[in-house]
């Protein structure tokens, strides 16, 4: 769980430092981070299909930023990996 928190912090920092990131993309990533935080605040038995939706949105975001913002895409991939390691 600590690794995921570190990953989210890195993503947050990359998001703050991302230049030329349009407002829609920035808003979408902030919403994803909030959704992930809500999942982390829930007990394991309450986590349902919503986590699949979040992973898909993260993967789409990573692909979108792969060429234009590689550091941001890398931070998103670390979060995806951390979530997967937790079984989310």
What's the average pLDDT block by block, 10 residues per block, for the chain (88 residues)? 81 81 86 79 58 84 90 90 81
The DSSP code for 67 is: T
- What total number of domains does the chain contain? 1
Q: For residue 65, give its domain range.
A: 2-85
Residue 63 has a pLDDT of: 93
Residue 77 has a pLDDT of: 93
pTM here is 0.75
Residue 13 has a pLDDT of: 84
Supply the angle between the helices 50-65 and 70-85 in degrees, to the nearest 10.
160
């Amino acid at each position: 769980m600590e690794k995921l928190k570190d990953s989210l912090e890195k993503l947050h920092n990359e998001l703050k430092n991302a230049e030329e990131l349009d407002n829609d993309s920035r808003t979408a990533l902030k919403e994803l981070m909030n959704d992930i935080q809500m999942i982390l605040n829930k007990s394991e038995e309450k986590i349902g299909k919503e986590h699949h939706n979040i992973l898909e949105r993260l993967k789409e975001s990573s692909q979108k930023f792969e060429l234009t913002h590689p550091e941001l895409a890398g931070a998103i991939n670390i979060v995806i990996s951390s979530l997967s390691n937790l079984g989310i």
